[in-house]
């Protein structure tokens, strides 16, 4: 079945450093790749997404890159801040549902 692998499972960085989370997917027909941020005890919130017709998208300190040939996509957070600490999930759209990665727990130390 469809599968999304996400690495690393945990990531600790110093405030101001960059953080990169990578995901690999198996379904070559996928055309939509969102990223969600989930703070402790709260709902997942969409932070950025990318569609298969572009290779990169930026929104302030957050960027996502997509390599369709290699079937992987990455989340890049620059100038990290303590409030970026959360669990981040990548996802791919399979037909009309989202399949999620296993999550990355990001800790940003002040």
Partner 1 sequence: NAGVMQNPRHLVRRRGQEARLRCSPMKGHSHVYWYRQLPEEGLKFMVYLQKENIIDESGMPKERFSAEFPKEGPSILRIQQVVRGDSAAYFCASSPGGRAMRTEAFFGQGTRLTVV
Q: According to CB under 8 A, which one of 34, 47, 66, 75 is a site residue for partner 1?
A: 34
Closest CA to 73 of 55, 47, 59, 87: 55
What is the C-alpha separation between 91 and 83, in angstroms, rounded? Answer: 22
- Residues from 70 through 89 that contact partner 1 (CB under 8 A): 89
Shortest distance in whole angstroms from residue 100 CB to partner 1: 4
Please identify, using beta-carbon distances, which residue of 53 and 60 lies nearer to partner 1.
Answer: 53
What is the C-alpha separation between 95 and 61, in angstroms, rounded? Answer: 30
Tell me if 103 contacts partner 1 by CB under 8 A.
yes
List residues binding partner 1 (CB under 8 A). 32, 34, 36, 42-46, 49, 51, 89, 93, 95-103
């Amino acid at each position: 079945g469809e599968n999304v692998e996400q690495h690393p499972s945990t990531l600790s960085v110093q405030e101001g450093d960059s953080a990169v989370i990578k995901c690999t997917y198996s379904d070559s027909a996928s055309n939509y790749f969102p990223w969600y941020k989930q703070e402790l005890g709260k709902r997942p919130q969409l932070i950025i997404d990318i569609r298969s017709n572009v290779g990169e998208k930026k929104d302030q300190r957050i960027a996502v890159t997509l390599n369709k040939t290699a079937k992987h996509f990455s989340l890049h957070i620059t100038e990290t801040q303590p409030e970026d600490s959360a669990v981040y999930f990548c996802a791919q759209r399979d037909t009309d549902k989202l399949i999620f990665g296993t999550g990355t727990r990001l800790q940003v130390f002040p």
